[in-house]
Amino acid sequence: MIFEIDSGEREPLDEAEPGYRREDGFEVTVADTGACKTVSTYIVLEECRNLDLKPFDWYLALVVAGTMEHRFPAPVIANYRGTAIGVDEDKNRASKADSLLQAAGFGSIRQVLRLG
C-alpha cells in the first residue's frame, strides 16, 4: 500500500523508525492502473535485523485490517493471519489499536486475527 503524508511528517516518521533508513526514489508499479510511482520506503539496517522478532498482536491486526480494507486476495490475508505474534506488555498501545479497529468496523484484535 502507498500512503501519502505531508512533508512535515517525514522527520517525525524518520525518528519513529529507529533501526531503519529511509530510501527515497523507490519505484513501484500500482497494481490497479499499472502507473509507475516514485515513493519512499524504510529498510532495516543490517545491524538491527533480528529474524526472531515477532510483530505485536495489535500491530499485526492493523496490518490485517489494512489488507482487508484494500481487498487483498484471501490467501494473502490468511498468510498475514498465520504470522507468529508477540504480545505487547504496554496494554495502552493494544487498547488504542483495539479501539481504532472497532471504530472502523473490524472488531477486536482477536477477531481480526481470528484468535480463539
pTM over 0.85: no
DSSP β-bridge partners for residue 36: 29
Q: Kindly report, residue by residue over 36-81, the tens digit of the pLDDT.
A: 999 999 999 999 999 899 999 999 999 999 999 999 999 999 999 9
* C-alpha count within 13 angstroms, C-beta hemisphere, residue 80: 20
**Amino acid at site 14:** D
In which residue are the cell numbers 510511482 written? 37
Dist. CA 68–CA 112, nearest whole Å: 9
At residue 56, the pLDDT reads: 96
Percent of the chain with pLDDT over 70: 100
Whole-angstrom CA distances from 30 to 1, 34, 41, 55, 63 are 9, 5, 15, 26, 19
